Amino acid sequence: MKIMSINAGSSSLKFSLFDMDTKELIASGYFERVTLPGSFYNIKYQGEKIHEDVDMPNHTVAVEVLLDRLIKHHIVNSLEEIGAIGHRLVHGADKYNHSVIITDEVVEDLKKYSSLAPLHNPANILGIEAVKNALPEVPMVGVFDTAFHQTMKPSAYMYPVPFYWYTDYQVRKYGFHGTSHCYISKQISKILGTDHYKAIICHLGSGGSLSAVKDGKCVDTSMGFTPLAGIMMGTRSGDVDPSIITYMAEKEGKTADEIVNDLNKKSGFLGLTEKYSDFRDVYAGVKAGDEKCKLAFDKYVQTVVNYIAMYYVELEGADVICFTAGLGENATPVRKAIAEKLSCLGVKIDEEKNQICGETTEISSSESKIKLYVIPTNEELMIAEDTYTLMNEKA
């Protein structure tokens, strides 16, 4: 069965097409600037990149272009080869703790939860509606970013705020990057050869989050009510004193929303260095002796270490610390610095193995009391696997 994973943004559409009999990636691509002037797409197929500038005034047209090009470039012979489509859905509140077949009820819930993810849920709905218009007979599955974290206990997900904020307005920790954390937890289980383990998963990219996982279930995670909470990121501050918002609003003559926007888009690496949001640029600055880049590097490492230490205590130990996502899979200096700060827990890194990037590798030394792994994430495959599983259950 061929299954397509789709991730719709407000002005983008990302897809991956898999042969689920072999779990082989057939093709993938990005459709950019949808609804905007200068829209285009890039498709990777058989080692080549196909680029085309094409007018895509809305997501319906983007999906139509995608399906047309799948045929035109002989990626599939017929659209009937696509057995199902899995959609990345950002927010399912606390109703959805697993992937589901998309129904009218699911779409209505996405609309209802849009206030919890105003930048993402409406875009996800556009993707669903565009696919439904183009392929009305093809079943669709929703895979929620928040689902994996729904195994947290109330003591982990509740905030110490007026209780009615939760009952009336759904204010609680939800966590994000759940599809990645779920995928990595399954890989750890395969590597260790057991379902019984304690792991701390570090999804480190331009956005980043950590999760504490016991026996494949999330115990706690660093992102919260929104993806702004937790560790420092490319442009996000992570955890800060909330009083800063009203203080800076008064000082700068801004609204609270404008300050939150600054915390989301002008903070993190970008805020501390005042010029770089990409870690590669930050580290180049570190090597060049830029003091602000060094501060950003040190602060980033410290925020990650703080969460690892907290989760080590929460799990009452750890068998594995895993690094994944773009920065986690490739930023060897960060992994080394984190491991060195965790030496009091008996963590020891193998510096030679740590130079390996982009593949599943144990990077801890034989003396390390906790295993360190780099495991590349694959959220698109996770979406396809969940979709495939639901299709088989339905059959």
Percent pLDDT > 70 in the chain is: 100
Question: How far apart, in whole angstroms, are the C-alpha atoms of residue 302 and residue 70?
Answer: 46
> Which of 74, 83, 90, 70 minimizes the C-alpha distance to 2?
83
- Would you state the pLDDT for residue 11? 86
Average pLDDT over residues 300-309: 98
Give the three-state DSSP class for 165. helix
Asked whether the predicted pLDDT for residue 95 surpasses 70, the reply is: yes
Residue 100: pLDDT band with limits 50, 70, 90: very high
For 345-372, what is the mean pLDDT? Answer: 96
Residues 6+ apart with CB under 8 A from 206: 233, 234, 235, 277, 278, 326, 327
pLDDT in tens, 151-183: 999 999 999 999 999 999 999 999 999 999 999
Sign, CA torsion 124/387/203/16? negative
Looking at residue 220, its pLDDT comes to 98
* Residue 385 pLDDT greater than 90, yes or no: yes
- Any idea what DSSP says for residue 93? T
DSSP 213: E
What per-residue confidence (pLDDT) applies to 118? 82
The share of the chain scoring above pLDDT 90, in percent, equals 89
Residue 195 near residue 292, CB atoms below 8 Å:
no
> Distance between CA atoms of 63 and 60, rounded to whole angstroms?
5
Nearest one of 348, 237, 344, 332 to 286, comparing CA atoms: 332
pLDDT tens for 200-253 read 999 999 999 999 999 999 999 999 999 999 999 999 999 999 999 999 999 999
Q: Is 53 a known active-site residue?
A: no
Closest CA to 212 of 362, 338, 314, 325: 314
Q: Which of 19, 68, 104, 145 is catalytic?
A: 145
Rama region for 264: left / alpha / beta (φ>0; ψ in -120 to 50; rest):
alpha
pTM: 0.93
HSE (side-chain half, CA atoms, 13 Å) at 185: 24
Domains of the chain by range and CATH?
2-144 (3.30.420.40), 194-379 (3.30.420.40)
- Please give the angle made by the CA atoms of 257, 259 and 263, to the nearest 5 degrees: 110
pLDDT reading at 92 higher than 70? yes
Closest by CA to 66, choosing from 3, 151, 126, 6, is: 6
Question: So what's the pLDDT on residue 199?
Answer: 98
Give me the torsion for CA of 57, 58, 59, 64, rounded to 10°.
Answer: -50
Burial class (CB in 10 A: 0-12, 13-18, 19+), 109: buried
Residue type, 134: A
pLDDT at 358: 84
Cross-strand partners of 44: 28, 49
Query: Does the pLDDT at position 286 exceed 80?
Result: yes
Q: Where are the beta strands (DSSP E) in the chain?
A: 2-9, 12-19, 24-32, 40-45, 48-53, 82-89, 100-101, 140-144, 198-204, 208-214, 217-221, 320-324, 361-362, 371-374
Helix, coil or strand: residue 124: helix
Query: CA-CA distance, 120 to 54, in Å (whole number)?
Result: 24
Arithmetic mean of pLDDT over the chain: 95
Q: Tell which residue, 83, 86, 51, has the closest CA to residue 65.
A: 51
pLDDT over 70 (residue 274): yes
pLDDT at 395: 62
